[in-house]
Structure 1
Amino acid sequence: MKTERIRQRLHDASHQLADFLHALPDDHPLQIALRTYTLALSLALGPALLPFLTSRKARTQGLRRALHILARELSPNAFATSITVGVAGGAAIRRLWDRWTEGEVVGIGTREGGGDRYWDALHKLRTWAASLQDWQKSFVSNVVSSILAVALLHSRRRHATSAGVGRPSPTLDLSLLLLVRAMDSAVQMMFFKPSAVQLSRLTLTQKEDQQSVNRKWSTRLDALVFWACSARIMWCFFYEPDRLPRSYNKWIMTLASIDPRLLAAIRAIRAGKFSYVRGVSIPQDLVTSLSRDLGYPAAWGDPAVVPAYGLYANPVWRRLSIPGRQGVAGLPCEVVHGGVTGGSCTANAAIRGAQAFAEALAIYLPVHFLPIAITRPRKLLEIPRLLATALSAARSATFLSAFVSSTWFTICLTRTLLLARLFPHISHDFWDGPFGCAFMGSLVCGASIWIERGSRRGEMALYVLPRAIRACLAADWVKSGKFSVRLAERTIFVLSLASLLTTVVHRPDTLRGLSRWTLAFVMKGPNAGFWRRKRLDTNAPSTPAHLTRTSTPLPEGENVDGTA
């Protein structure tokens, strides 16, 4: 009987809490906090608990390990709590700011707060605070909450970051991600998303022409950014993998299917430990062991035997019984291609492209179908929509397939098929070196972005840019733990997060992709115009302006969530 009463009380309390939350507007700080915490906690727990579902080794660690992860991610200074303080805290500070400047908070800035001198100072402060524009109030509020957030994030690892040496900041990757999204919003605002005042000076035809030009140049800029970032990332993958996240290196290695000994040989050439000209290999069996494992003679991987110059290569190839490399030096393609194929460079690129397509399709099918299944599941029953989504996933998989196959084919084109044949007097230490085949492959692969749709190019560029920036930073400086590193990284975090949170309220039309979808949901809720139309697949009106406090007029034809 007592248990039943307790259960009934809990049931009534849950209903009262639900009624209380439903009565709050979508932009209330408590609503924002709940959405932020739920989303951030799922992002933190998902990768942490996934190994328990996919790995037998993880499951053998038992329930204690899982409970430890839960306790860590539910702690007051965990990722979910810290991000909630940064996001919802800014909204709460802004709400208090408005009430204070409007005189609703008694005792702060009023005569009841203290003596005349105290009141005069607070009155001046309140007058200044009230004089700021809406976006300035939001930005200052978000800066304060972002400072608290980054302080919480670093507090649980203070012992590690204080020692510093050998470990980068735990929030470095997140800071770079926020920086890139904030920079993209600023670029969109300055060049591709004119204000309402600018648009008001144009006729309807001029507006359409301007939007068409902006879209064209925006997609071109996205493609350029992706190409440059891909070149840097792939070059670091070949030669300086420590500059990239370990998981990213592992993913590229799996997708490209490269034997680690071949990568070690490429890096040894750069370090001078592997040379065709000098006939040295450190360690001695670096590539000979690979050649033996592939079923070829060990001599095919010995730089002391393999010719260094194409001018003098033919007698060596006849002695080694290797056909098809007349006039070209360096390791035979049979060894470079690994176990994928024989000496055919075209077949090697095609097979690797087909393998990458199959693996990419397994990645992109959920990416394309899950959003529709969550927001508009009935659309999956429509054959045209089903086919369109499947073709979109296939197009994305084709892009990744072309990325991999173009890298391999360019490597072969440089060291075997074309360039090395045109310049046989140049040693293969150059063609297999850091400015030879791997460099050319890194330059070419990013051009595959043109296969993707224009709207997807922007998201792909924003995905690789933080990693490319990380790859450009000096590893010793990043891991030094110096005050300059900590100050720079935390300043980037605070200003970037504050900028994004301000932008989603006052200029949401400048946000794109994941940042736009995530921030629109967190700050405005599922009833924001963009998310409501996605869920209901209707042209429902956007969120009322008084709920979003959008002070900057939006371009004609756009809603507060940035949709047309």
Structure 2
Amino acid sequence: MASPAAAGTAAPVFASRPSGALRFRPRGRWDDSIPPTLRPLVRAYLLGYASAVTPRLLTLLLQHLTRWEQAKKQGKHDSEQQQKQQTGDPFSKALERILHGGLDPRRFPTFCAALVGGSTLLEAPFMVALDKLPASLSDAARKRLSRWFACFVAAWLSLRLLQSKQSPGFTENGPIPSAEPPGVAYQTTRYAGRTLDLTLFAFTRAVDVVTGELWSRRRAKRQAAGRWTALEAAVSRLTDPAIFALSSGLIMWTWIYLPSRLPRSYNKWIGSAAAVDPRLIEALQRCRTGELIYGQETGQASLLGGMCDDYNWPRSWGDPAVSVPFPCEMVHMGTGPSCELHALSRFGRSFRWAMATYLPLNLLLALRNPNRAALRRALISSSRSSAFLGAFIALFYYGVCLARTRVGPRIVGTDPKARQCIDGGICVGTGCFLCGWSILLENAGRRKDMALFVAPRALASLLPRRYPWDKQWRETVVFASSTAIVFTCVAENKSRVRGVLGKVLGSVLTP
């Protein structure tokens, strides 16, 4: 009779060595009992479920603990316990709603299973169909084409499944214009765009795969010929930092002038990290739109006048008809007139704020294998990431100051029109250009992951969050084509899909 290991079970067994000693045979993988053709589908579903549910569970837990602590401090804990006995525990209801919500067939876990499972299960039928092509086509090319078409079809159908679920943010109810009498009959209008972030993520990854492969071939040829130059080597090193700097600069510009184009969570997080008085942001916005004009009375003195009162500054500082421009000390928000000291103080505050987030997370990761080296790595990683974020914020503010006070007036001029031009976009643009280069403080591995993380979000700021439903097929084509490129590349050259995504896809798609 076959042993448990030979039967494919995960049970440990002992085997005898020639000397008669016993050795322990390691356990098999958790999915060894699943047929190989179905393993990618199951892995994808479980991974999608975990990624969809875990953040919501953590948020629920933190909210519950916060409310419990507040109620305990206020002496309301006993009364809340009595209320729970009468009406039921809201925590358990929310927990049940989150766990069941992930099982909805039109949500992310099913999308992942359909995408990965479809791409693997459809490959064989497409291979049979492609056997009818001319014999001049090599077997490798046939296999590549069959994999690409299978991924394309699976990506198309899975995204359509995700798009089929209605969302309140992409649905509007309004009267039918031709109804008689007017205003009596209503219709529901659906908009596309709910899956735009996912599509842009796939698109940027596909572009990275294609350009990376082309550049790798060029480098190999030129290095073999001894013609690889220092400029080309610098381009290789600086491409990821440049992508991050450009993308993050575009996101910061959007946050200042077009915040509605960013997700609400993005706006909230950037606002917390920037720690800026919203009246300053509004003043810069009004400078750009022409509502606030230096040297003219346009009724805008009250905007920054209240800020002057809060910080005990002369009220005339906030009057654009009198103060041309408003002093840079107002941008410093109480740290004094020096732009350099303000940048240093921003770095210090942001560093401490980031360490409070990064250090606990890295220490938790170090607990997997607790030792002195793991603790040292956790401290170094937290410090480096915190220095990056601190430098990001400090460079943004110092870029604003450079344009407003240090360099800008010497180039653009000091008359009211020049000052209007500086505060109407040049100062913010300078800060946006400089801030992203703080990525050079991170290690090379983190640079590529962060560059590929922010690039699709920067692209999303250039596109409308909602668009007509009948144009959705264009997005579906882009997603399906991009995903087919990435999945085909993972099957043939796993290392070409850079960063964490390549490792995850490699582990999921392996039979």
Secondary structure of 1:227's aligned partner: helix
Alpha-carbon distance in structure 1 between the residues aligned to 2:212 and 2:342: 41
Selected match of 1:409 from 378, 398, 402: 398
CA shift at 1:277, angstroms? 2.1
Alpha-carbon distance in structure 2 between the residues aligned to 1:39 and 1:207: 45
Selected match of 1:249 from 257, 267, 283: 267
Correspondence for 1:229:
247
Report whether the alignment pairs 1:22 with 2:40.
no
CA shift at 1:421, angstroms? 5.5
Inter-CA distance 168–20: structure 2 relative to 1 (3 Å threshold): closer
Secondary structure of 2:428's aligned partner: helix
Correspondence for 2:422:
431
Secondary structure of 2:38's aligned partner: helix
Q: Deviations over 1:316-335 (max 9, x none)?
A: xxxxxxxxxxxxxx112332
Aligned AA for 2:109? A
Correspondence for 1:288:
305
Correspondence for 2:208:
184
Report whether the alignment pairs 1:509 with 2:495.
yes
Secondary structure of 2:424's aligned partner: coil
Inter-CA distance 97–42: structure 2 relative to 1 (3 Å threshold): same
Q: Which runs of 5+ in 1 are unaligned?
A: 1-12, 102-108, 110-121, 309-329, 525-546, 548-564
CA shift at 1:450, angstroms? 2.2
Correspondence for 2:467:
480
Alpha-carbon distance in structure 2 between the residues aligned to 1:189 and 1:19: 33
CA shift at 1:304, angstroms? 2.9
Inter-CA distance 426–162: structure 2 relative to 1 (3 Å threshold): closer
Correspondence for 1:154:
163
Correspondence for 2:184:
none
Correspondence for 1:48:
56
Tell me how large the CA RMSD over aligned residues is: 3.5
Report whether the alignment pairs 1:138 with 2:167.
no
Alpha-carbon distance in structure 2 between the residues aligned to 1:129 and 1:348: 65
Alpha-carbon distance in structure 1 between the residues aligned to 2:486 and 2:299: 52
CA shift at 1:210, angstroms? 6.5
Aligned AA for 2:304? V
Alpha-carbon distance in structure 2 between the residues aligned to 1:207 and 1:393: 42
- The correspondence of residues 104-143 of structure 1 with structure 2, limited to 5 A, is 124=132, 133-143=142-152
Report whether the alignment pairs 1:334 with 2:329.
yes
CA shift at 1:34, angstroms? 2.1
TM-score, normalization by structure 1? 0.71
Correspondence for 1:494:
480
Correspondence for 1:360:
354
Correspondence for 1:541:
none
CA shift at 1:431, angstroms? 2.1
Q: Deviations over 1:88-135 (max 9, x none)?
A: 22112224556xx3xxxxxxx9xxxxxxxxxxxx99589999965212
Count of residues in correspondence between the two structures: 448
Secondary structure of 1:189's aligned partner: helix
Report whether the alignment pairs 1:86 with 2:101.
no
CA shift at 1:209, angstroms? 9.3
Aligned AA for 1:179? F
Alpha-carbon distance in structure 2 between the residues aligned to 1:88 and 1:214: 40
Q: Is the 8 A contact 2:241 2:447 kept in 1?
A: yes
List 4+ stretches of structure 1 deviating above 4 A: 56-62, 95-98, 122-132, 158-168, 205-216, 366-373
Selected match of 2:436 from 443, 446, 460: 446
Alpha-carbon distance in structure 2 between the residues aligned to 1:518 and 1:210: 33
Selected match of 1:68 from 97, 120, 134: 97
Q: Is the 8 A contact 2:347 2:390 kept in 1?
A: yes
CA shift at 1:498, angstroms? 1.9
Q: Is the 8 A contact 1:219 1:455 kept in 2?
A: no
Alpha-carbon distance in structure 2 between the residues aligned to 1:88 and 1:193: 32
CA shift at 1:274, angstroms? 1.3
Alpha-carbon distance in structure 2 between the residues aligned to 1:123 and 1:135: 12
Correspondence for 1:471:
461
Q: Is the 8 A contact 1:37 1:84 kept in 2?
A: yes
Selected match of 1:381 from 366, 371, 393: 371
Aligned AA for 1:134? K
Q: Is the 8 A contact 1:275 1:281 kept in 2?
A: no
CA shift at 1:20, angstroms? 9.5
Alpha-carbon distance in structure 2 between the residues aligned to 1:209 and 1:42: 48
Secondary structure of 1:22's aligned partner: coil
Alpha-carbon distance in structure 1 between the residues aligned to 2:214 and 2:449: 19
Alpha-carbon distance in structure 2 between the residues aligned to 1:19 and 1:399: 39
CA shift at 1:362, angstroms? 3.5
CA shift at 1:443, angstroms? 1.4
Correspondence for 1:118:
none
Aligned AA for 1:304? A
Q: Is the 8 A contact 1:165 1:479 kept in 2?
A: no
Alpha-carbon distance in structure 1 between the residues aligned to 2:105 and 2:209: 31
Q: Is the 8 A contact 1:269 1:432 kept in 2?
A: yes
Correspondence for 1:351:
345
Q: Is the 8 A contact 1:406 1:444 kept in 2?
A: yes
Inter-CA distance 123–220: structure 2 relative to 1 (3 Å threshold): closer
Q: Is the 8 A contact 2:193 2:467 kept in 1?
A: no
Aligned AA for 1:269? C
Selected match of 2:45 from 32, 37, 40: 37
Aligned AA for 2:447? R
Secondary structure of 2:32's aligned partner: helix
Q: Is the 8 A contact 2:48 2:112 kept in 1?
A: yes
Alpha-carbon distance in structure 1 between the residues aligned to 2:421 and 2:309: 25
Correspondence for 1:270:
288
Inter-CA distance 446–297: structure 2 relative to 1 (3 Å threshold): same
Aligned AA for 1:187? T
Inter-CA distance 481–441: structure 2 relative to 1 (3 Å threshold): same
Aligned AA for 1:52? L
Correspondence for 2:180:
none
Aligned AA for 1:334? E
Q: Is the 8 A contact 1:29 1:89 kept in 2?
A: no
Q: Is the 8 A contact 1:222 1:458 kept in 2?
A: yes
CA shift at 1:512, angstroms? 0.8
Q: Deviations over 1:277-317 (max 9, x none)?
A: 213245x52111122122334332122332x2xxxxxxxxx
Inter-CA distance 370–442: structure 2 relative to 1 (3 Å threshold): same
Aligned AA for 1:301? G
Q: Is the 8 A contact 2:366 2:375 kept in 1?
A: no
CA shift at 1:369, angstroms? 5.8
Alpha-carbon distance in structure 2 between the residues aligned to 1:421 and 1:346: 18
Aligned AA for 2:246? A
Alpha-carbon distance in structure 2 between the residues aligned to 1:425 and 1:272: 16
Aligned AA for 1:333? C
Q: Is the 8 A contact 2:294 2:416 kept in 1?
A: no
Q: Is the 8 A contact 1:291 1:297 kept in 2?
A: yes
Correspondence for 1:170:
194
Alpha-carbon distance in structure 2 between the residues aligned to 1:124 and 1:95: 14
Q: Which runs of 5+ in 2 are unaligned?
A: 1-8, 12-27, 69-88, 173-187
Secondary structure of 1:305's aligned partner: coil
Q: Is the 8 A contact 1:337 1:343 kept in 2?
A: yes
Secondary structure of 1:503's aligned partner: helix
